[in-house]
Structure 1
């Protein structure tokens, strides 16, 4: 089971780590998009979200306080869904559909990250193939 959980952690975080690279290497371009969506301080928000994605993703993959890493991903995903993908504001049907898919993808990933938070916190040190145990104790 330990190997399956490790593979799952890696596959779950590929998206976040790839996005982190984009946020940190194409900050100005991504900040332009964030600004168009009304995000305050878009350059700083883009860089900060890249750090959040990178830290959370690496923590989950390597099992270093993986519960906290999962929580960091939730902290990224929920505001992103609400601020960047507000499909209810779109008037064009195609744009609305694209934003709706992205909105619900982010919410679904936030739900999965919350489950990982609970899983890591509950399993504690019994979960193998991690570098540390959980930071939180949900028992």
Structure 2
């Protein structure tokens, strides 16, 4: 079972690691998009969200205080979900549909992160991790 959990952790963090890479290599473009969505201090927000994704992903991937890693990703994804995918503000039906899908995807990821936090913080047998939980 340890290997199965490790495979799941690897698969889960690929999304966040690739997004973090984009946040650091395409900061200006992402900041422009964030600014268009009304995000305050968009360039800083892009960098901070990229850092949270990178740190949280590495934590979960390597099993170094993975419960903290799940919380870092949760802290990043909830504001992103609300500020970047505010489907209720859209007037165009296609934009509304697209933002609704992205909002729901982020909501599902947030739910998975809450479960991962619970798993890492309260499961005795974590298997193939470097450290135990922080919390």
TM-score, shorter chain, exceeding 0.5? yes
Q: Which runs of 4+ in 1 moved over 3 A?
A: none
For structure 2, the residue ranges without an aligned partner over 5 or more in a row are: none
Match of 1:2 in 2: 2
| Distance (whole Å) between structure 2 residues aligned to residue 127 and residue 74 of structure 1 | 20
| Distance (whole Å) between structure 2 residues aligned to residue 117 and residue 24 of structure 1 | 26
| Distance (whole Å) between structure 2 residues aligned to residue 26 and residue 50 of structure 1 | 11
Where 1:64 maps in the other structure, the secondary structure is coil
Task: Output the aligned Cα RMSD.
Answer: 0.6
Write out aligned runs for 1:76-87 (5 A). 76-87=76-87
Q: Is 1:128 the counterpart of 2:127 in the alignment?
A: yes
| Distance (whole Å) between structure 2 residues aligned to residue 89 and residue 104 of structure 1 | 15
Give the TM-score taking structure 1 as reference length: 0.96
| Distance (whole Å) between structure 2 residues aligned to residue 102 and residue 120 of structure 1 | 26
| Distance (whole Å) between structure 2 residues aligned to residue 108 and residue 75 of structure 1 | 14
For structure 1, the residue ranges without an aligned partner over 5 or more in a row are: none
Q: Is 1:93 the counterpart of 2:120 in the alignment?
A: no
Deviations along 1:69-123, one digit per CA (max 9) or x if unpaired, are 0011110111001000000100000011000000010011000001000000111
Superposition deviation, residue 53 in structure 1: 0.3
Give the TM-score taking structure 2 as reference length: 0.98
| Distance (whole Å) between structure 1 residues aligned to residue 117 and residue 18 of structure 2 | 21
| Distance (whole Å) between structure 2 residues aligned to residue 30 and residue 8 of structure 1 | 28
